[in-house]
C-alpha cells in the first residue's frame, strides 16, 4: 500500500444555507481534519446570505486554524456585475483563487490560481495552457475516468497539483434559467431565494420513480452522491494529490472522518455513513462507465 501524502479539501458550499448554518459549518471546519477549504459562491450571484464582509472573517478563522483557504468564483458569468464581482474577489483575496470560468483565468493574469472543475480541461495541451497562465492546481472535471486523470497527472507541468471531486452530488451543468424557481412557478428575477428551502437541492425522479437528477438553482446535479472512498488507494496510485469533499447538510463530519482515515491509511475502518439523500451513492464516471453506476 502506498503511503504518498494526500490532502483533504472541502469544496465551496453549493447550496443556499441560512447565514447561521453557514457560519457554524465553517467554524466546525476550523477543528476538522481537513487541509484545504474553498469559500465563496459558485452557483448564483444573487445568493448573498454571507456578505462580502463575512468572507474575510471566515477565511481568517480558517487560516488561523492552519487551513489553506481558496476563494472560489462563479462557474457561469453572464453579466457585467458578475465580472466586476469576480475581479473584486481576485484583487482582494489574501490567498489562492479557484477560477471556474475562463474570464477568471484571464483576469488572474499570471497570478497563481486553482483551475476549478467547471473549466473544460480534458487533455494535455489545455492543461499546459492553463498552467502557463498561472494554474498551480487542477480539479479534474467530474466526468473524467480515473485512467484519463492518471494520464494527465503523469504528464502534468511541474509543480501542478491534481484534485478530484471525491464526495458529493455531482455538478453536471449550469443554465441561464433557474430551475428551482421555475419548479415553484417563480420567475428567476423574483425567486424569493426559494432555493434556501432545499439545503441539498431538489431531487428529481424518473417516470419509474428512480432518483435521477437534483435541481440547485441554475445548477443541475446528480441525484446520487459520488463517493470515491473505496477508490482512495487507486486515486493515490494515479497521482491524485487532493480529494475534494463537497458539503451536504447532514452527516458531513462523519464523511470527513471516514476519508481522513482512508487517506492517512491508519488501519481504522474507513466507512462512510449510509447515504442520507435519496439517490444513494455512485462512482461510475471514475470507472469509465455511466456516472450513475455504483460498484458497491
Q: What predicted TM-score, i.e. pTM, was given to this entire model?
A: 0.94
Number of CB atoms found within 10 A of residue 58's CB: 21
- CATH superfamily, domain at 7-168+227-272: Aldolase class I (3.20.20.70)
In terms of Cβ atoms closer than 10 Å to its own Cβ (0-12, 13-18, 19+), residue 3 is exposed
Domain ranges in the chain? 7-168+227-272
Give the distance from CA 14 to its chain's centroid: 8
User: CB of 219 within 8 A of CB of 14?
Assistant: yes
Q: What is the pLDDT along the chain (296 residues), one digit of tens a residue?
A: 445 689 999 999 999 999 999 999 999 999 999 999 999 999 999 988 788 788 899 999 999 999 999 999 999 999 999 999 999 999 988 779 999 999 999 999 889 999 999 999 999 999 999 999 999 999 999 999 999 999 999 999 999 999 999 999 999 999 989 999 999 999 988 898 999 999 999 999 999 999 999 999 999 999 999 999 999 999 999 999 999 999 999 999 999 999 999 999 865 556 788 888 899 999 999 999 988 888 86
Amino acid at each position: 500500500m502506498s503511503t504518498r501524502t494526500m490532502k483533504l479539501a472541502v469544496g465551496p458550499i453549493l447550496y443556499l444555507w441560512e447565514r447561521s448554518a453557514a457560519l457554524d459549518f465553517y467554524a466546525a471546519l476550523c477543528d476538522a481534519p481537513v487541509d484545504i477549504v474553498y469559500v465563496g459562491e459558485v452557483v448564483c450571484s444573487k445568493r448573498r446570505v454571507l456578505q462580502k464582509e463575512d468572507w474575510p472573517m471566515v477565511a481568517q478563522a480558517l487560516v488561523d486554524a492552519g487551513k489553506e483557504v481558496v476563494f472560489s468564483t462563479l462557474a457561469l458569468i453572464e453579466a457585467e456585475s458578475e465580472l466586476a464581482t469576480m475581479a473584486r474577489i481576485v484583487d482582494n483575496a489574501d490567498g489562492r483563487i479557484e477560477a471556474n470560468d475562463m474570464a477568471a483565468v484571464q483576469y488572474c493574469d499570471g497570478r497563481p490560481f486553482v483551475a476549478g472543475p467547471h473549466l473544460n480541461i480534458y487533455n494535455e495541451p489545455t492543461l499546459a495552457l492553463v498552467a502557463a497562465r498561472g494554474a498551480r492546481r487542477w480539479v479534474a472535471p467530474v466526468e473524467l475516468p480515473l485512467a484519463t486523470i492518471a494520464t494527465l497527472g503523469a504528464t502534468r507541468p511541474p509543480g501542478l497539483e491534481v484534485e478530484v471531486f471525491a464526495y458529493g452530488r455531482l455538478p453536471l451543468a449550469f443554465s441561464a434559467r433557474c430551475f428551482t424557481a421555475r419548479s415553484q412557478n417563480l420567475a428567476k428575477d423574483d425567486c424569493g431565494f426559494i432555493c434556501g428551502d432545499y439545503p441539498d437541492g431538489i431531487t428529481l425522479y424518473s417516470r419509474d420513480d428512480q432518483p435521477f437528477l437534483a435541481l440547485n438553482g441554475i445548477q443541475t446535479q446528480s441525484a446520487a452522491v459520488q463517493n470515491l472512498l473505496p477508490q482512495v488507494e487507486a486515486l493515490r496510485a494515479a497521482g491524485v494529490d487532493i480529494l475534494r469533499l463537497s458539503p451536504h447538510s447532514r452527516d458531513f463530519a462523519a464523511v470527513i472522518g471516514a476519508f481522513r482515515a482512508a487517506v492517512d491509511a491508519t488501519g481504522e475502518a474507513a466507512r462512510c455513513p449510509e447515504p442520507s439523500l435519496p439517490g444513494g451513492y455512485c462512482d461510475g464516471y471514475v470507472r469509465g462507465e455511466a456516472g450513475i453506476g455504483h460498484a458497491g
